[in-house]
Structure 1
């Protein structure tokens, strides 16, 4: 299987509104929520066409003009998935993702899928911002919180990722890639049992271009894909985490396209996952995600959303991805 060339950048579907007048937008939102009934169309026309940074400016203007918190006002006027999506869109992205991580490890049980999606696809800069925001918001380090709620190989993987110390050298060292491929082979397929620390060390510290070369070398030597080794050597959360890293290295838009497909296919929708991915990735690489979605599933992301969602919730999602 061929993978797209490595590209650290993406193309957003949502760009800053120009011209932009946050005071005027705040006035429109106030009018939409004042009195009897709510003008949902006006709320969508403002918030779904402004970037996250612009929405923060609108919120400041709203509080300045009316002495009210915009998010609280929106929550009192909206309901259901539409409310959840709008509120997610209004939170600063670092805070929103920190809260998603916190919620994933709070209460009974752990939402490992959310942790994997957020952490295993993040860049060093993403991780540093997320760790700082988590500690500022929740009063403890994200690393400690994750370590106390997970165990074993999966805990060690998340702790390694929390360091945000992956190489960012885009130069590919062929000899080093061959050496790492051999080390991975010895740590897994060529021995009884698995030396998970070798997998952890290589997958959490090598640059994305270097990892792509390591995977190619592994396939050249063994005749099968590196994911086969992970599937054979690991199980459960650690397997899912390592596979997420591999898939993100090879094709990050493809990884998110698959996440979106899985949260909408079949009966019922994993709306929180859908909202999180759309609200965040629309400002990063949603164009590539949409292209990958269409190529993988023969149907556009917009068509899937239109079939799976309804009302103002659907309209907002479609505005963000178009």
Structure 2
């Protein structure tokens, strides 16, 4: 877990005569100002639940939504980050999904990242917010945005029905591994449906055992087989699932590296991962980043970004490993 203060204030205490009670006034004044340093200081040093208390107190005191004032007084990627910080996790995932489907075409990499890395519980929470805000099911809108076997796999994940049993059935893992081998490496052509069915339905612990059994049967990893047998967005999705089965923090560390590699920066991906994982596994992501790339995530952000956005992301990141 990342280093986030764990003192959760009741609404009464928050509005009472304590130092914390004035935080919403700080935010109110800064939004009128706007003094970015104070916005960063207040919003990045609080947990998500504490930020929701700030939002509630802000609305009660001003009659306005904090998220609306942040949108009105800041801008660009820095605004996106502040809005992300004051948005509840499930709603944030939902809004990122909407953004990925907005306009002509879809941002498939974002769809893949969200549905491959989130737990079934997180996906169900996303679905609830989506239904509340749009009065439609996520799967209904996805069907109009994606197609083919990529759509088949994505829709299975979007239903949030992955098996959550933590008990591993070794015999079933061997059967699944052989079925995958027979459907790919051993076959002329590839039975993509078999890969989709197993990788999108089995529990994560069960799939970890299947990866082991597959390596024994095939002599190569399942990831290598998928990369050699498939192409396009289906390949990208199934590879992402396999990577997340092995380690979600390692997968997201790779996504962060890719977002800062080369001449530009993908601030959208950087903001999304840093905020959405800040209270889940950011310390593990930092450790994986350092192990893989031999320098810290903090130093990568420092060298790639400047200004308020860079400062805010460094605070969220925490220490320089």
TM > 0.5 between the two? yes
- Given that residues 188 and 229 in structure 1 are in contact (C-alpha distance below 8 angstroms), is that contact kept between their aligned partners in structure 2? yes
Within a 5 Å distance, the mapping from 1:171-320 to structure 2 comes to 171-320=167-316
- Given that residues 187 and 195 in structure 1 are in contact (C-alpha distance below 8 angstroms), is that contact kept between their aligned partners in structure 2? yes
Whole-Å separation in 2 of the counterparts to 1:127 and 1:156: 16
Structure possessing the higher relative contact order (Cα contacts under 8 Å, 6 or more residues apart)? 1
SS of corresponding position for 2:117: coil
Within a 5 Å distance, the mapping from 1:1-322 to structure 2 comes to 11-17=1-7, 21=14, 23-34=21-32, 37-322=33-318
Whole-Å separation in 1 of the counterparts to 2:30 and 2:95: 28
1:147-196 Cα deviation digits (max 9, x unpaired): 11111110000111122222222222111111111100111111121111
SS of corresponding position for 1:120: helix
CA RMSD for the aligned pairs?
1.5
- Given that residues 13 and 285 in structure 1 are in contact (C-alpha distance below 8 angstroms), is that contact kept between their aligned partners in structure 2? no
Normalised by the length of structure 2, the TM-score is 0.93
- Given that residues 85 and 275 in structure 1 are in contact (C-alpha distance below 8 angstroms), is that contact kept between their aligned partners in structure 2? yes
Whole-Å separation in 1 of the counterparts to 2:180 and 2:119: 23
Q: Aligned residues, how many?
A: 310
Normalised by the length of structure 1, the TM-score is 0.92
Whole-Å separation in 2 of the counterparts to 1:304 and 1:192: 44
1:280-300 Cα deviation digits (max 9, x unpaired): 101110000000000000010
Structure 1: segments with no counterpart, 5+ residues: 1-10
- Given that residues 8 and 49 in structure 2 are in contact (C-alpha distance below 8 angstroms), is that contact kept between their aligned partners in structure 1? no
Cα–Cα, structure 1 residues 77 and 50, in superposed 2: closer, same or farther, change >3 Å? Answer: same
- Given that residues 293 and 300 in structure 1 are in contact (C-alpha distance below 8 angstroms), is that contact kept between their aligned partners in structure 2? yes
Cα–Cα, structure 1 residues 201 and 304, in superposed 2: closer, same or farther, change >3 Å? Answer: same
- Given that residues 15 and 51 in structure 1 are in contact (C-alpha distance below 8 angstroms), is that contact kept between their aligned partners in structure 2? yes
Whole-Å separation in 1 of the counterparts to 2:90 and 2:243: 23
1:15-60 Cα deviation digits (max 9, x unpaired): 43466836421111123234xx422222111101112221121111
Q: CA deviation at 1:81?
A: 2.0
Cα–Cα, structure 1 residues 314 and 58, in superposed 2: closer, same or farther, change >3 Å? Answer: same
Structure 2: segments with no counterpart, 5+ residues: 15-19
Whole-Å separation in 1 of the counterparts to 2:123 and 2:71: 30
- Given that residues 170 and 210 in structure 1 are in contact (C-alpha distance below 8 angstroms), is that contact kept between their aligned partners in structure 2? yes
Whole-Å separation in 2 of the counterparts to 1:17 and 1:267: 41
